[in-house]
Amino acid sequence: MKPDRRGMFPPSLGARTAFRVPRRHRQDAAQEAWLAFVTGEDADMAVWSYVKKTERQEARCTCFSQLEEEQRDRIFQETFYKKSLKS
C-alpha cells in the first residue's frame, strides 16, 4: 500500500494536485492550500499558482556557478576590490 501523501493538505485539494507538487515546495504549497481552504477559494488553483510562480522565479535566478568565467571575475572584482579600496 502506498503512503498517504495528502496528510498535510486540506480535504478540498485534489489527489492529483497533491501528488504532483514537487517535494521541495510541499510545505509552502500546503500552507497555500490551507489558506485557500479557510478563505473559501479553490485550493487546487492556489497551489498551482504558487508552484508555477515559484518555478518561474527559480528559472530566472542564475546560480553563481553557472556564470561564465569572465562574468564571475567581473562580479568578484566589483564586489571585493571596491571593498578593499575603502578600507
What tens digit of pLDDT does each residue of 15-73 get? 888 888 888 889 999 999 999 999 999 999 999 999 999 989 888 877 777 778 888 88
Q: Which residue has the cell 572584482?
A: 77
Residues contacting 55, CB < 8 A, separation 6+: none
pTM here is: 0.62
Q: How far apart are CA 43 and CA 21, in angstroms?
A: 13
Residue 86 has pLDDT above 60, yes or no: no
The pLDDT of residue 59: 82
